[in-house]
């Protein structure tokens, strides 16, 4: 069953989110939608399914409202929820067949990069990597054998390079490839990749879409009902990488506050990036909202309402100094993940291990919705103590 667009699509995204599309369920007309826990559905005596459902793995009513809201936010035609962001991404990659060409960025979520490299080798795919922020590098990767799929991650975790989605999509489509964009960090508050030419947008819904560190989920939204999308929809039903009904309900609850959460985090990230850029104990800051950042020009073209709640900075003194700073922070919690209401810090290279592409003195910050003055004070004292 396809995700339905809202009954009144004229409302602004902030209103659609806050209202959860404004759908009121019969018979009680609950403001908060009910949780649909059923796994199977009764047939009529003539064998028909008058309720429109066969089995929850294919089409749980728990998915209808959050999928439709995602469709509206990304201005897409259909959406699918998955059990995790990785499951959503893998559903796209698993449409490829032996011998087909897959083009991916050099900098992307490390767990997915590791899986893609292994998957490509096992399946016999032609895997080509390009530099995220270099269209010439992408053009070289597209040359030769026509690609089946181009994957984009922007901003790219954990150093936040940006890919020009419109230009990259035009290049990829000229070679007959589908384009999928991991827009987890940007969220539809900042960027809508489908409007820039991408075919599919992916979210680790665990992060900003849910925003409360109490759910693991993934999502895909498509620009059109293409043959590739039909393969992905069939894959979800047959492989069973589905989201539970309670988790779908939690996701919808989280999306109702998406816009204020993301805007607060982005404004605070901007202020913190500017503070760190001027700090004598900081070697470099990676944040597309800084005019000095190499990604700033692209960010201004394809991002709105701010430049995201994620930034990284390199500590003077190397890995040991970075470790000390992380250990001295009091408000920032040392934890993996991102995009929630609480601020997190992670010394990223040791987490990623030997295959990491990020410097060993880099700390990744996920900015929450705390008072930015408190967050800056926390960084100030940590940098002072670890100097």
- Pick from 112, 193, 179, 123: nearest CA to 147: 179
Written as six digits, the tokens of 360 are: 């060993």
182 belongs to the catalytic site: yes
Written as six digits, the tokens of 102 are: 């897959």
Q: Which helix (H) or strand (E) holds 313?
A: strand 310-315
Distance CA 215, CA 211 (A): 9
Distance CA 315, CA 361 (A): 6
Sign of CA dihedral 2, 111, 350, 362: negative
Catalytic residue, from 133, 182, 293, 378: name it. Answer: 182
Catalytic residue, from 192, 207, 223, 364: name it. Answer: 207
44 belongs to the catalytic site: no
109 belongs to the catalytic site: yes
Written as six digits, the tokens of 351 are: 């987490």
Catalytic residue, from 4, 53, 57, 301: name it. Answer: 57
Contact between 281 and 127 (Cβ < 8 Å):
no
205-222 burial: b if 16+ Cβ within 10 Å, else e = bbbbbbbbbebbbbbbbb
Catalytic residue, from 109, 178, 208, 287: name it. Answer: 109
207 belongs to the catalytic site: yes
Contacts of 176 (CB under 8 A, 6+ apart): 146, 147
Active-site amino acid positions: 57, 109, 182, 207
């Amino acid at each position: 069953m396809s995700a339905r667009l809202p009954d009144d699509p004229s409302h602004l995204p902030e209103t659609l989110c806050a209202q959860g599309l404004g759908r009121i369920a019969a018979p009680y007309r609950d403001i908060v939608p009910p949780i649909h826990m059923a796994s199977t559905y009764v047939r009529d005596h003539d064998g028909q399914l008058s309720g429109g459902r066969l089995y929850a793995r294919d089409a749980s009513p728990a998915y209808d409202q959050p999928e439709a809201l995602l469709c509206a936010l990304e201005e897409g035609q259909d959406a699918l929820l998955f059990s995790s962001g990785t499951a959503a991404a893998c559903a796209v990659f698993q449409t490829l067949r032996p011998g087909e060409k897959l083009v991916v960025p050099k900098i992307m979520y490390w767990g997915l990069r590791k899986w893609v490299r292994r998957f490509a080798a096992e399946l016999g795919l032609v895997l080509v990597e390009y530099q995220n922020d270099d269209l010439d590098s992408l053009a070289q990767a597209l040359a030769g054998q026509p690609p089946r799929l181009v994957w984009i991650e922007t901003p790219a975790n954990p150093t936040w390079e940006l890919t020009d989605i419109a230009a990259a999509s035009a290049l990829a489509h000229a070679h007959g490839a589908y384009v999928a964009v991991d827009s987890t960090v940007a969220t539809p508050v900042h960027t809508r990749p489908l409007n820039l030419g991408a075919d599919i947008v992916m979210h680790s819904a665990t992060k900003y879409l849910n925003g409360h560190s109490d759910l693991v989920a993934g999502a895909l939204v498509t620009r059109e009902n293409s043959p590739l999308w039909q393969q992905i929809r069939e894959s979800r039903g047959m492989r069973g990488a589905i989201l539970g009904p309670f988790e779908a309900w939690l996701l919808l609850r989280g999306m109702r506050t998406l816009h204020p959460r993301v805007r607060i985090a982005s404004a605070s990230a901007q202020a913190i990036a500017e503070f760190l850029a001027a700090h004598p104990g900081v070697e470099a800051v990676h944040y597309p909202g800084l005019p000095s950042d190499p990604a700033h020009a692209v960010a201004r073209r394809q991002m709105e309402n701010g430049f995201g709640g994620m930034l990284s900075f390199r500590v003077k003194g190397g890995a040991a100094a970075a470790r000390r700073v992380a250990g001295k922070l009091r408000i920032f919690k040392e934890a993996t993940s991102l995009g929630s209401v609480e601020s997190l810090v992670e010394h990223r290279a040791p987490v990623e291990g030997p295959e990491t592409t990020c410097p060993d003195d880099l700390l990744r910050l996920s900015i929450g919705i705390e008072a930015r003055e408190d967050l800056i004070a926390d960084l100030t004292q940590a940098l002072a103590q670890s100097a």
